[in-house]
Chain A
Amino acid sequence: MLRAPDEDSPVYDWVPTRALRRAVGVLLVLLIAGAVLGRVDLVVLATPFALGTAWGLSRRPRLLPTAELVVHGDVAGEGGTITGRVAVDNPDRAPLTSVTVRTRRSEWLRFAHGTGTYVTTVAGHGGTDVLLRGRALRWGRHRIGPVDVRAYAADGLLRSRPVRVPGHPVRVYPVSYPFDAADAMPKAAGIAGTHRSRRPGEGGELAGVRPYQPGDRLRRVDWRVSLRNRELYVNATLSERDAEVVLVLDVLHEAGRSRPGQPSVLDTVVRATASIGEHYLHRGDRVSTLEYGPAMRFLRPATGHRQYLTMLEWLLDVRVLAAGATPTSRLLSHRTLPPNALVLFLTPLLDDNSATVLAAMARAGRFVLAVDCLPDGVRPDRVSEWTDLAYRVWRMERENLVGRLREVGVPVVPWRGTGSLDEVLRDVTRMAAAPRAVLR
Chain B
Amino acid sequence: MISPRTEDLLRRGAAAVRRTAPGPMLFRLTALLAGIAALVLALAGPMRTNPWSYVVAVAVALIPAVRPGTPWVTVLELLAAGLWVFGALVAGDAHGTAGVLALAALLYVHHSACAVAAVLPVDGRLGPGVLFGWLLRTGSVVLGTVVLTVLVVLFLPPAGTGHGGAPLPALGLLAAVAVGVAVAYLLHRRR
Which residues of the other chain, B, contact A372 by a CB distance below 8 angstroms? none
**A37 x B142 contact (CB < 8 A):** no
Which residues of the other chain, A, contact B71 by a CB distance below 8 angstroms? 18, 22
Contact of A119 among B124, B160, B164, B175 (CB under 8 A): B124
Contacts A19-B114, A22-B74, A118-B124 given; does A38 touch B133 at CB 8 Å: no
Which residues of the other chain, B, contact A45 by a CB distance below 8 angstroms? 81, 84, 100, 103-104, 107
Query: Does B101 make an interface contact (CB < 8 A)?
Result: yes
**B115 x A120 contact (CB < 8 A):** no
Residues of B within 8 A of A (CB): 23, 69, 71, 73-74, 77-78, 81, 84-85, 88-89, 95, 100-101, 103-105, 107-108, 111-112, 114-116, 118-121, 123-127, 129-130, 133-134, 137-138, 140-142, 144-145, 148-149, 152, 156-157, 159-160, 162-164, 168-173, 175-176, 179-180, 182-184, 186-188, 190-191
- In angstroms, Cα B177 to Cα A28, docked, is 8
Q: Which residue of A lies closest to B89 (CB)?
A: A37
Q: Smallest distance from the beta carbon of A93 to chain B beta carbons, Å?
A: 14
Known: A16-B187, A29-B78, A155-B137. 7 other contacts (CB 8 A): A35-B170, A35-B173, A37-B89, A39-B159, A41-B95, A155-B115, A155-B134
User: In the complex, which of the residues A20, A41, A47 has the most CB atoms of chain B within 10 Å of its own CB atom?
Assistant: A41
**A35 x B171 contact (CB < 8 A):** yes
Contacts A22-B74, A28-B179 given; does A120 touch B111 at CB 8 Å: no
Which residues of the other chain, B, contact A47 by a CB distance below 8 angstroms? 104, 144-145, 148-149
Q: Smallest distance from the beta carbon of A39 to chain B beta carbons, Å?
A: 6
Contact of B78 among A19, A26, A44, A48 (CB under 8 A): A26
- In angstroms, Cα B132 to Cα A120, docked, is 11
Q: Smallest distance from the beta carbon of A27 to chain B beta carbons, Å?
A: 6
- In angstroms, Cα B105 to Cα A171, docked, is 55
Q: Smallest distance from the beta carbon of B180 to chain A beta carbons, Å?
A: 6
Query: Does A157 make an interface contact (CB < 8 A)?
Result: yes
12 A-B residue contacts at CB 8 Å? A19-B112, A19-B115, A22-B73, A37-B162, A38-B168, A42-B81, A45-B81, A48-B144, A51-B144, A97-B116, A97-B130, A100-B120
User: In the complex, which of the residues A12, A33, A40 has the most CB atoms of chain B within 10 Å of its own CB atom?
Assistant: A40
**B186 x A57 contact (CB < 8 A):** yes
Which residues of the other chain, A, contact B23 by a CB distance below 8 angstroms? 119
**A55 x B141 contact (CB < 8 A):** yes
- In angstroms, Cα B155 to Cα A43, docked, is 14
**B119 x A28 contact (CB < 8 A):** no
**A17 x B183 contact (CB < 8 A):** no
Contacts A31-B176, A32-B173, A33-B85 given; does A156 touch B191 at CB 8 Å: no
**A26 x B127 contact (CB < 8 A):** no
Which residues of the other chain, A, contact B190 by a CB distance below 8 angstroms? 11-13
Determine chain B's interface SS by DSSP, over half rule.
helix
- In angstroms, Cα B121 to Cα A31, docked, is 33
Contact of A17 among B100, B115, B124 (CB under 8 A): B115
- In angstroms, Cα B188 to Cα A50, docked, is 19
Contacts A42-B85, A121-B129, A156-B115 given; does A50 touch B100 at CB 8 Å: no
Which residues of the other chain, B, contact A19 by a CB distance below 8 angstroms? 111-112, 114-115, 118
- In angstroms, Cα B172 to Cα A27, docked, is 11
Residues of A within 8 A of B (CB): 2, 4-5, 11-13, 15-20, 22-45, 47-53, 55, 57, 60, 62, 97-98, 100, 116-121, 128, 150, 152, 155-157, 159
Q: Which residue of B lies closest to A155 (CB)?
A: B137
- In angstroms, Cα B21 to Cα A352, docked, is 52
Which residues of the other chain, B, contact A51 by a CB distance below 8 angstroms? 141, 144-145, 148
Contacts A37-B85, A119-B124, A156-B119 given; does A28 touch B164 at CB 8 Å: no
**B133 x A121 contact (CB < 8 A):** yes
- In angstroms, Cα B172 to Cα A41, docked, is 12
**B179 x A98 contact (CB < 8 A):** no
Q: Nearest 4 CB-CB pairs, A to B?
A: A35-B172, A120-B127, A19-B115, A121-B129
Contact of B121 among A22, A33, A117 (CB under 8 A): A117
Q: Which residue of A lies closest to B129 (CB)?
A: A121
Which residues of the other chain, A, contact B173 by a CB distance below 8 angstroms? 31-32, 35
Which residues of the other chain, A, contact B172 by a CB distance below 8 angstroms? 31-32, 34-36, 43
**A23 x B121 contact (CB < 8 A):** no
- In angstroms, Cα B137 to Cα A180, docked, is 68
Q: Smallest distance from the beta carbon of A346 to chain B beta carbons, Å?
A: 39
- In angstroms, Cα B176 to Cα A398, docked, is 82
**B176 x A35 contact (CB < 8 A):** yes
Contact of B118 among A17, A29, A32, A57 (CB under 8 A): A17
Q: Smallest distance from the beta carbon of A419 to chain B beta carbons, Å?
A: 45
- In angstroms, Cα B120 to Cα A31, docked, is 30
**B118 x A98 contact (CB < 8 A):** no
- In angstroms, Cα B144 to Cα A40, docked, is 17
- In angstroms, Cα B125 to Cα A23, docked, is 26
- In angstroms, Cα B108 to Cα A120, docked, is 22
- In angstroms, Cα B143 to Cα A52, docked, is 11
Q: Smallest distance from the beta carbon of B128 to chain A beta carbons, Å?
A: 9
Contacts A31-B172, A119-B125 given; does A24 touch B101 at CB 8 Å: no
- In angstroms, Cα B175 to Cα A118, docked, is 39
**A38 x B187 contact (CB < 8 A):** no
User: In the complex, which of the residues A30, A98, A119 has the most CB atoms of chain B within 10 Å of its own CB atom?
Assistant: A119
Contacts A29-B78, A41-B84, A51-B141 given; does A117 touch B124 at CB 8 Å: yes
- In angstroms, Cα B168 to Cα A38, docked, is 7
User: In the complex, which of the residues B123, B127, B162 has the most CB atoms of chain A within 10 Å of its own CB atom?
Assistant: B127
**A118 x B125 contact (CB < 8 A):** yes
Contacts A28-B180, A40-B159, A41-B100 given; does A98 touch B112 at CB 8 Å: no
- In angstroms, Cα B71 to Cα A62, docked, is 28
